Chain A
Amino acid sequence: MADHDPDSDSTPRTLLRRVLDTADPRTPRRPRSARAGAQRRALLETASSRRSSSQTKMTTRRHSHGARSISRSAYVQASGHLKEQTPRTLLKNILLTAPESSILMPKSVVKPVPAPQVVQPSRRESSLGSLELQLPELEPPTTLAPGLLAPGRRKQRLRLSMFQQGVDQGLPLSQEPQRNADASSLTSSLNLTFATPLQPQSVQRPGLARRPPARRAVDVGAFLQDLRDTSLAPPNIVLEDTQPFSQPTVGCSPRVYRSPPCMPHTGAEDTELAAGCKKRSSGPGMQTNSPEKLAQFLAGEAEEVDAFALDFLSTSSGVSGEDGVEPLQDGVEEAEKRMEEEGVSVSEMEATGAQGPSRAEEPEGHTEVTEAEESQGTAEAKGPGASSGDEDASDRAARPELVSSTPESLQARRHHQFLEPDPPPGAAVLSSEPAEPLLVRRPPRPGTTGPRPQQDPHKAGLSHYVKFFSFYAKMPMERKALEMVEKCLDKYFQHLCDDLEVFAAHAGRKTVKPEDVELLMRRQGLVTDQVSLHVLVERYLPLEYRQLLIPCASSGNSVFPAQ
């Protein structure tokens, strides 16, 4: 048994063979526990010692091989109650049939001998490190299995072992305890392998774990109030200030467009709205003030436009304290508040608490609205809405800049909201206003407007060919040389056109056709009897153009391009 093989020769197979040859043919069955175990252990120890001694050639696989083979040999010795098919014979069969390379056997093969000691070695086997359960025994039907299973990888072995388990279901009951043990070990091993992916994900990456979406608590009070306001002011379609639209945009034109629709609104509606607006407390006050404010509004109705701008561009252009120098905020509420601060005549209060651009002329109402609306937004110091007169001037001044930043949505809403009629002068003012900022917005481009469209495309096209030049030259070039190339190209194009004209006229045509170009190329000496056009096309043009120029035959007797 303790054959000391030369390291180079020792393979599991050879070792096994030696073992089989030299092992005691008389295999003790019952009392194998002590002796077999001792033998097994001895075998293993010798094997391990041999392994350790034989270093390099043995790979881990071989180690497992050897271990398995050792165990198998041990089993062979230990078990084998079947005379006609002893493990030894089975093992010999395996050695004969199994391929040389891989003796990694998935050992779901159930041993015919249900010896508990067999289980132990199997345990030891598995403990030796290989995942596969080294089931030592071989069953008659499973003699082929090793051959089948041998080439498989570990995973396949596992799966096959599962299959083998199913196959083994037909085994006699004696097999069961062991099989169960094996199966349990198998499944445990399998479970180990299969269960792992689920668990660590949450443990290793807590960030990936799904969290319930955080929801803000609904402010019922504000919501109800908004409902009331909306119900009171049905004609106004209040657009909620949703986040995306809060960005100030440069939308002057929409304001112009929207102002006409606002025109039909009459002042009476405004007062009604004012009455039904949020600031009920200030309602009467507002109503009384509204007529005056209305006039004011009409006068300075352009301010609305400015209000938008004001909101977003804190300008120190003399805006009254109510507007304050508010930092540029995206919140629409702020814009609305500004509107209020402007002291627009009509106190239009937007129903929605978030954004109602309430035209509260009253400072108090204004503040109320602002406060209410500011509940969400930033706390802005909205001074009481004083007269809007001074704001006009400041607004106008600030308008060009502010206009650009007002949000479109805000404008839309305001135009809906602003019931005050837009008098034609107001509209005119409005239209003029957007025009100015538009002009202001576009930085003037003086100078090279004339020759530029003429030059640039021409230069661009020439540079196209200049790039080809620098590519073909394969040498560094000076910038002046490139300019010279452009000049040459210009000259060449002139020549080209002249020649094409001559050729077309020669053919009695007024239209230049491709054959003229071909003739030109021939005269240039590019196309000769040796070098045909097709050759040139293939050489210099991109592949995609080749099919355009060179007729190719395709299936169905069709030639492309058509000839």
Chain B
Amino acid sequence: MALSTTVSQRKQIKRKAPRGFLKRVFKRQKPQLRLEKSGDLLVRFHPFLGWEWGMEVHLSCLLFVHRLAEESRTNACENKCGVINKEHVLAAAKVILKKSRG
């Protein structure tokens, strides 16, 4: 899945980005849309060339999950609970989803 500079080597990535999963989710949601193919992009002079949409989506998901976790941990600590409860997560989700609405 991940390219490597040295083609001969095969790397085993421990934390892979589930590109297939993301693509499937996207397709289910918006079948009319297309996702850009990853790979070598020969078009130059494009400011954002060289990125992979899948990777970036994965990055955004990670960041979302990270923020969610932080928020729910804060909520749980505020309630002086040692365990993160459903309510903590729910409250955190409200905030974070609002934030990442864009």
Residues of A near any B CB (own CB < 8 A): 457-458, 460-461, 464-465, 468-478, 480-481, 483-485, 487-489, 491-501, 504, 510-518, 520-521, 523-526, 533, 536-537, 540-542, 544-545, 547-549, 551, 554, 560-563
Contact = CB atoms under 8 A, between A and B. Distances in A.
Given A487-B93, A561-B40, 15 more contacts: A461-B22, A473-B73, A480-B86, A484-B89, A484-B90, A497-B26, A499-B101, A501-B30, A511-B35, A512-B53, A517-B56, A518-B51, A524-B63, A537-B59, A540-B63
B42 A504 contact: no
A555 to B, nearest CB: 11
Contacts of B59: 521, 536-537, 540-541
Contacts of B86: 478, 480-481, 483-484
A14 B26 CA distance: 88
Contact of A468 (B25, B32, B36, B65): B65
Contact of B3 (A480, A483, A542, A548): A548
Interface string B65-102: 11011101100100000111110111001001101111
Contacts of B26: 497, 500, 512
Contacts of A476: 82-84
A510 B60 contact: no
A533 B4 CA distance: 20
A468 B97 contact: no
Contacts of A465: 61-62, 65
A492 B89 CA distance: 14
Contacts of A548: 2-3, 52, 55
B8 interface: no
Nearest to A465: B65
Contacts, number: 211
A497 B50 CA distance: 21
Given A473-B69, A517-B57, A512 B34 contact: yes
B36 A511 contact: yes
Nearest to A466: B65
Nearest to A559: B50
Nearest to B66: A472
B60 A549 contact: no
Contacts of B30: 497, 500-501
Given A478-B86, A512-B35, A494 B29 contact: yes
Contacts of B44: 562-563
Contacts of A515: 47-48, 51
Given A478-B85, A563-B49, A495 B62 contact: no
Contact of B93 (A471, A484, A561, A562): A484
10 contacts: A475-B83, A475-B84, A484-B90, A488-B89, A492-B100, A493-B25, A516-B53, A542-B13, A549-B56, A561-B41
A513 B55 contact: no
Contacts of B11: 544
Given A484-B89, A485-B68, A514 B100 contact: no
B25 A497 contact: yes
Nearest to B40: A562
Contacts of A510: 32-34
Contacts of A536: 59, 63
B93 to A, nearest CB: 4
Contacts of A562: 40-42, 44, 49-50
Contact of A475 (B14, B82, B99, B102): B82
Contact of A540 (B49, B50, B62, B88): B62
A474 B47 CA distance: 38
Contacts of B85: 478, 480-481
A487 B21 CA distance: 16
B51 to A, nearest CB: 4
A501 B97 CA distance: 18
Contacts of A491: 93, 97
A496 B21 CA distance: 14
